[in-house]
Amino acid sequence: MKISQFAKKFKTKITTIRYYTDKNLLYPKLKGSYYDYDASCEKDMEYIIKYKQMGFSINEIIKIITYKRFSKTLNSIEIELINNILEDKKSELHSQIKELKTRIEYIDTFSNELELQTKKEIYGFPFSCVHLLICPHCGEQLTLYECNVTSKGIVNGKCKCVTCIYECTIENGIINCREDRLLIKNKSELNKLNFLNQSLCEQFDYLGSKIKTLKDFWDKGNVFLFNGADIEIISMSLLDKTEVNKTYIFTESSYDVLTDVKIKVEAKNLKGNFLFICHKDIIPLKKCADRLIDLFGINMNAIHASETTCNIDITKEIILPNSKFCGTYFHCTSENRTLNTIDSMYMDDNSITKIYNNIGIKIQTKELIGQSNELGKLLPLERYKEELLGITTVTGILS
């Protein structure tokens, strides 16, 4: 029969039949201008299909069929040779099954580990920090009611001042002082992760390593306040080492951004007391923090003069006198093309230094640690995208 009929009979493509013919697995007879695939070809094709179902490669099938073709009737030696090939294939398949089972076990183990991470208990507001909750208007201790608690603290609840009308809530372990939900363009974790390429990650890693060298800052502090907390805190690995008797406060104006940070902190299963506060203008805590960490927040305040990040003037209200400060900021360089088209007060290095002084931070050290033309991708203003920005670390004391 012609090749098209032969292919149709075995439900395969004509190109596949041609391939088998080229490999001498099929020996059709030439009839005029076309090949005739006879009964012997049909028998060979049945064997090819059978061997393929057993998992043999084309080269292995060629080897077996060659043995068969040398003898019309297989003798004991040839049968033994073919049986050896079949046994080898069985051993190979058993080995593959074992390997696949092992891989499935690895997948199940890893999947279970991931599931355990997602099932970690939500960090609630720590019981040991309840005494810090005060009315920001009159200073009275806040009363907690309708609370849902776990071993990790107060997960949900309400806070109110019995003296005045102030109220706030605890939602998923976050003190929420906002009645609205601030949505900030490009501030979600997903958008940020899209921008965190290898170059930016390396820069954040280096920046974090510089901040972590401030040994006295971290070792001698007791209550650490992260102003305008964002995923940069995680990217810089600033929370690699926390202590069970110390307190870490994260403030942000966007509930969604703060939730992203909280999830990352929970995944690390860290030691210590962790407070997450979403606020707009006031924070219902006593003065308790003796360390302030601000990563680029001063820039946000200066650029917007609004609430797109936690304002240091607000967070200062819960910071003890003479507390230590460390932070980072970005600024225009001499190579900026847009330096003359933007308000220099917002991005000029000297002007930003003055802002620190105006809000009561006495600068002790300042170091330019690098420049980047990718940092603008993380900012809410498109005009800084691809601009070369200087990155500076700063330490100081709050008056």
- Asked whether the beta carbons of 388 and 333 are under 8 A apart, the reply is yes
Q: Which residue has the higher pLDDT, 395 or 376?
A: 395
In which band, very low, low, confident or very high, does the pLDDT at 309 lie, cut at 50, 70 and 90? very low
Domain count, the chain: 2
How confident is the model at residue 180, as a pLDDT?
A: 61
- Asked whether the beta carbons of 369 and 395 are under 8 A apart, the reply is no
pLDDT tens across 236-287, in order?
778 877 899 999 999 988 888 888 889 888 888 888 999 999 987 789 999 9
Element (H, E) at 232: helix 232-235
pLDDT tens across 12-43, in order?
999 999 999 998 899 899 888 889 999 989 99
* Shared domain check, 194 and 66: no
How confident is the model at residue 290, as a pLDDT?
A: 95
Containing domain of residue 30, as a range? 3-70
What is the C-alpha separation between 122 and 364, in angstroms, rounded? 38
Asked whether residue 193 is assigned to any structural domain, the reply reads yes
Helix (H, G, I), strand (E, B) or coil at 129: helix
Helix (H, G, I), strand (E, B) or coil at 187: coil
Given 70, 98, 125, the domain boundary residue is 70
Q: Which residue has the higher pLDDT, 180 or 223?
A: 223
Question: Domain with 15 in it: what CATH number?
Answer: 1.10.1660.10
Asked whether residue 77 is assigned to any structural domain, the reply reads no
* Shared domain check, 201 and 52: no
In which band, very low, low, confident or very high, does the pLDDT at 199 lie, cut at 50, 70 and 90? low
Positive or negative, the CA dihedral 324, 328, 331, 334 is positive
Nearest to 392 by CA among 343, 358, 356, 359: 356
- Asked whether the beta carbons of 155 and 122 are under 8 A apart, the reply is yes
Asked whether residue 354 is assigned to any structural domain, the reply reads yes
Asked whether residue 111 is assigned to any structural domain, the reply reads no
Given 70, 102, 124, the domain boundary residue is 70
**How many CB atoms within 10 Å of residue 328?**
23
| Rounded alpha-carbon distances, angstroms, from residue 352 to 125, 146, 286, 343 | 35, 45, 29, 12
Tell me whether strands 319-332 and 289-295 are parallel, antiparallel or unpaired.
Answer: parallel
Q: What is the token pair recorded at 182?
A: 């601030």
